[in-house]
Structure 1
Amino acid sequence: MTRRMTGGEAIVSGLIANGVDTVFGLPGAQMYPLFDALTQAGDRIRTVGARHEQACGYMAFGYGRSTGKPGVYSVVPGPGVLNTTAALATAWGCCTPVVCLTGQIPSAFIGKRRGHLHEIADQLGTLRSVVKWAARIERAADAPDMVAEAFRQAQSGRPGPVALEMAWDVMAGAEEVPAARPAVIDANPPPAADEIARAAALIRAARFPVIMTGSGAQHAAAEVARLAQAIGAPVAAFRGGRGVVDETGEHGISSYAAFKLYPECDVLIGIGTRLEMPTMRWANMMQVIDRPAPPPHIIRIDIDPDEMARLVPHAGIVADAADGAAALVAALAGHRAADNRERIARARAAAATETAVVQPQMDYLAVIRDVLPADGLLVEELCQAGFTSYFGYPVRHPRSYVSTGFQGTLGFGFQTALGVKVAHPDKPVVSITGDGGFLFGVQELATAVQYGIGLVTVLFNNEAYGNVRRDQEQRFGNRLIGADLVNPDFLALARAFRLDGYRVHSPAELRPVLQAAIAADRPSLIEVVVPRGSEVSPWPFIHPVRAY
């Protein structure tokens, strides 16, 4: 059965068929037919606008990262979509499903280099360099199948961002279009019996196994917890895998506590992770380690078969994290694991004592953790408090800690947190950011107010790019360039954008203000004044050096 519709309407019909409830977007000439179709969709799809295209991409990333469902955004082609490529690269690095919908110049002009509005030489090729899959929809009638394919690609195997483009004339033109359908997600490969047996044998022979989780394990919390219990293993993560196991429970530990335990580890089980900590952070960031020699023996569970060549394990299980962990538990039936709870508790206590020197960040994070409920969401940023949160903020639930991952995209945090809050309107969401990164997207305060997005932003103002300044002081003879900042009056800025604004000078002052802001559930900005250069560096606990 077909229905006559425009290309824009055909795309939106595909979104509805795939369960999309929110699109982040910024309309423009080539995208008018799609945004008109979103208007006609009514309350079936909520459209959230933005003041800069980069925010559309970051909000979609936050939505996808915190839900596991594809985040969708739409912007104009050329400079518009180019403004979102940092968000796409972040989604790619964090294995997060994001669907980018953009336009194209008129069909007859593609490849002609005549200088049509928003033309770039090879938009599809540019997009393919930062996403998992990208394609052009050539006809409105092709849109339902192409949209379904985009959602299949975004969610099958290793999740990631995808992009679809449609030419201006095709999006505005109309023809008979078949009914849209939902994507059929690829079935996950079953764990290979011989690899499960090899991994189980290594675990049975181990004295002290350790589990590390990544983004690919976020949906497998129950299975990972059962595996940790079955083998008596601590569970650690650096960024993407945090919260898979409660970091305040018997088995969950911080990345620095894991560092302290690592010399005792004889079997390392990586689940949905690149194992960045032991192979780069704790080794040598300038030297590729792709065939590590034991100890420890490395077991990897990963949906992406290519990972087994990037870092060659001693047992490689190509499978979904939940399936692989469950298969290991079954294979270990009857295994009597050592009781390592006391060893884990000692490492956790020792790590807490040592990292307590990272002030004032640790005390501020302790307040935020105490005020936020266990399932409240925190979005970090590349600032001193954000870096400290890698090891200094216990994460209790899956998908409740949103990070930029290895991309390190400065300025992502506040904009991403808006998308997280849109996805979780009934949960408190806190964005921690620095004055430098925050100003990358400060205009989105208007978006928060316009759409009633009750995000609480805690802005640490040290009037500097703190890391840059410290590095220039310590490594380049105190020759400062581009590190010190001149900032606006952030309280006046909050008032100008018509949102709640506060200023505090200590963790004790932050507590009641944060409690009130969360309770109000309105857009709010809390400036934390930090004297320039006063923060203790968190980096000795992120790149720790082992003393021998």
Structure 2
Amino acid sequence: MNCAQMLIEGFKAMGVRRIYGIIGTSNFAFVNALYDHQEDIRYVSCRHEQVAASMADAEGRLTGIPGVVLTHSGPGTLNALISVANAYKDGSPMIVLSGAVKRKLRGSDGMLEVDHLSVFSSLCRGVFRVEEADHAAAVLSRAYTLAVSGGRGPVLIEVPEDVWDEEVKVEAPRFRFAAEHRPPLHVEDVWKALEMVKEAERPLLLSGGGVAYSGSSELLVRLAESLHVPVTTTGNGRGTIPEDHPLCLGRVGFGGGNTVADAALSEADVVLGLGCVISDLTSYEYTLPIPGELVLVNIDMEAMLNCRRRPQLPIEADVRDFLLEAVDAVRDYRPPERRGWWEFLEGKRSEWRALVEQARNSDREPLSGARVIHELSLLLPRERIVTVGAGTHLLYPMAFLPCLEPLTYLSAVNFGAMGFGFPAALAAKLARPEREVVAILGDGDFMMTLQDLETACREGIKVLVLVMNDHMYRVLNLRQRIQCQGRILGTCHGNPDFAALARSFGAAGWRLEKVRDIRPVLQEALAVEGPAVVDAIIDPEDLPPFNMEASLRMSLG
């Protein structure tokens, strides 16, 4: 058995079902070895490494098993760097399997050579080099452990071109695929946190990605219901409590937070953060007042201590362990009424709902994004996955397409890179074929990855790409108009006909311009047994409801 075959056996034992990548001379031998294992591992050849790595990222988020991306030494591996940063920032387990120049050429500054380990070290939980085939099993085992332990994240494994075919000399090397031991939960911390919440006049739960990744959403809902305490979420925490649940106030913070959740975070006297920290996004770059006492439950103590807004009570523990203990502890608890707190929140809810209602009934042409996404929400089943890119377009599904289950809204939340939404949708459909998958993208975002429409067509991946086409980078255009007195530069551009372009790849395509066509076009697109693109022409003057006051304060601060 050679090194490539050994790694493939390891991936199979790990539970990997797909590898995304692009072939090159430095990883050629690995692809050749993978040929004999296609019944167990599907190789998805992509057209850009950013796409391949984002697909691996989405796979890791959805399955908990590290997504695997195969890259070619030098330029190919560097092309994946943006997606690796997304995974690192959002705690997504991923393995970058990179080719490298032959061992004899290392350090010669030749073609394709770059110091991958140095470049990736600050964005990975571990970087490794397989110098000899005998080391492959140990390296893969250690890389897996780092990828899935603690706050989770990407790892890099570099394999020189001449090592793939090298025979493994040791007999039956063993893989050890296990996470590191979780920090022990101290029960007294649970009781102290619960007492703070019980004694508060305006308590609030803040649910983060840790709740979603640990499979603890049901426990979160049970705790909230037992305490009768409102819940807000971070971007990665969306869906950990259904957004149609009466205790859910929605997402908090910049990039999609609503005024209800933001007001709750500002007015709460005790905030219990579960599987999260108070990040720059949650706090509008720390310009949102958060005067209440803060309790954070997070598996990563370093993340809590490095946060600008430090908790009065940091609890280093797996959030699932905490919730299991907390739910049991409040089983017979009878919460107080807290009428003043709920009256305040209901007032904020009424104001927000009025804004949402007005926007989603718009008949404007060019179209209102609010109307388009509202109509889409009426057509999608409850069991859906929505992915987004970066830009104004993501505010529409935040306000008009409720997230009802964990890990059904995928976004590059904490890095904010464009180009994540489309590849994430492709991987989501492969990992969850029974679900309807929709990528809601801005035109600028889609332009960065649309070459992989060919991948979607070749692989027969049924996804709907809804392009919110306003012919500009609207977030920046808006800032130029407000902060720079209309000095517009570099934010307006032209676009191809995305529907015609989709058809040229072999996908279905529609151009959507009239209100009367919104529902029938979306119905047709959802019914297609393959990739479909709807190019919705959006009025650039149309703004979805969001916390403009907090956003402007952040921009000016």
TM-score, length of structure 1 as denominator length: 0.91
Q: Deviations over 1:421-454 (max 9, x none)?
A: 1111121100001111101011000000000010
What amino acid sits opposite 1:28 in the alignment?
Answer: G
Structure 1 stretch 195-204 or stretch 266-275: which is displaced more? 195-204
Is residue 354 of structure 1 aligned with residue 355 of structure 2?
A: yes
The equivalent position to 2:185 in structure 1, one of 176, 185, 191, is: 191
What amino acid sits opposite 1:235 in the alignment?
Answer: V
Structure 2 CA distance for aligned equivalents of residues 542 and 373 of structure 1: 33
Structure 1 stretch 388-397 or stretch 85-94: which is displaced more? 388-397
Question: Residue 175 of structure 1 aligns with which residue?
Answer: 168
Deviation at 1:36, TM superposition (A): 1.2
Structure 1 CA distance for aligned equivalents of residues 279 and 514 of structure 2: 34
Deviation at 1:541, TM superposition (A): 7.2
The equivalent position to 1:407 in structure 2, one of 401, 404, 415, is: 415
Task: Tell me the C-alpha RMSD between the 2 structures.
Answer: 2.3
Deviation at 1:101, TM superposition (A): 0.4
Retained in 1: the 8 A contact 2:201–2:338?
A: no
Question: Residue 464 of structure 1 aligns with which residue?
Answer: 472
Question: Residue 162 of structure 1 aligns with which residue?
Answer: 155
Question: Residue 201 of structure 2 aligns with which residue?
Answer: 207
Retained in 1: the 8 A contact 2:369–2:538?
A: no
Is residue 149 of structure 1 aligned with residue 142 of structure 2?
A: yes
Question: Residue 20 of structure 1 aligns with which residue?
Answer: 16
Structure 2 CA distance for aligned equivalents of residues 45 and 38 of structure 1: 8
Deviation at 1:504, TM superposition (A): 1.2
What amino acid sits opposite 2:71 in the alignment?
Answer: V
Q: Deviations over 1:460-480 (max 9, x none)?
A: 111111112221222222222
Deviation at 1:245, TM superposition (A): 0.4
**Number of residue-to-residue matches in the alignment:** 532
Question: Residue 434 of structure 1 aligns with which residue?
Answer: 442
Matches within 5 A, 1:275-424: 275-276=278-279, 280-281=283-284, 283-284=286-287, 295-311=291-307, 312-339=310-337, 343=343, 346-356=347-357, 360-424=368-432
Deviation at 1:497, TM superposition (A): 0.5
Deviation at 1:514, TM superposition (A): 2.0
Retained in 2: the 8 A contact 1:204–1:335?
A: no
Deviation at 1:310, TM superposition (A): 2.2
Structure 1 stretch 102-111 or stretch 515-524: which is displaced more? 515-524
Which sections of structure 2, spanning at least 5 residues, go unmatched?
252-257, 363-367
**Identical residues among aligned pairs (%):** 27
Which sections of structure 1, spanning at least 5 residues, go unmatched?
none
Structure 1 CA distance for aligned equivalents of residues 350 and 55 of structure 2: 37
TM-score, length of structure 2 as denominator length: 0.90
What amino acid sits opposite 1:259 in the alignment?
Answer: D
What amino acid sits opposite 1:485 in the alignment?
Answer: H
Question: Residue 261 of structure 2 aligns with which residue?
Answer: 258
Structure 2 CA distance for aligned equivalents of residues 381 and 348 of structure 1: 27
Structure 2 CA distance for aligned equivalents of residues 374 and 46 of structure 1: 28
Retained in 2: the 8 A contact 1:79–1:118?
A: yes
Retained in 2: the 8 A contact 1:357–1:536?
A: no
Structure 2 CA distance for aligned equivalents of residues 340 and 230 of structure 1: 14
Q: Deviations over 1:148-196 (max 9, x none)?
A: 2211111111111111111111113223353453502223222123322
Retained in 2: the 8 A contact 1:131–1:160?
A: yes
Is residue 89 of structure 1 aligned with residue 97 of structure 2?
A: no
User: Residues 77 and 296 of structure 1: is their aligned pair in 2 closer, same or farther, counting only changes over 3 Å?
Assistant: same
Is residue 519 of structure 1 aligned with residue 550 of structure 2?
A: no
Is residue 484 of structure 1 aligned with residue 480 of structure 2?
A: no
User: Residues 13 and 223 of structure 1: is their aligned pair in 2 closer, same or farther, counting only changes over 3 Å?
Assistant: same
Question: Residue 269 of structure 1 aligns with which residue?
Answer: 272
Retained in 1: the 8 A contact 2:22–2:49?
A: yes
What amino acid sits opposite 1:44 in the alignment?
Answer: D
Q: Deviations over 1:295-350 (max 9, x none)?
A: 41111110101133124212222111111122223334543213569645554333
Question: Residue 254 of structure 2 aligns with which residue?
Answer: none
Deviation at 1:356, TM superposition (A): 4.5
- Counterpart of 2:169 in 1: which secondary structure? strand
- Counterpart of 1:453 in 2: which secondary structure? coil
- Counterpart of 1:432 in 2: which secondary structure? strand
Q: Deviations over 1:282-303 (max 9, x none)?
A: 8428xxx9xx7xx411111101
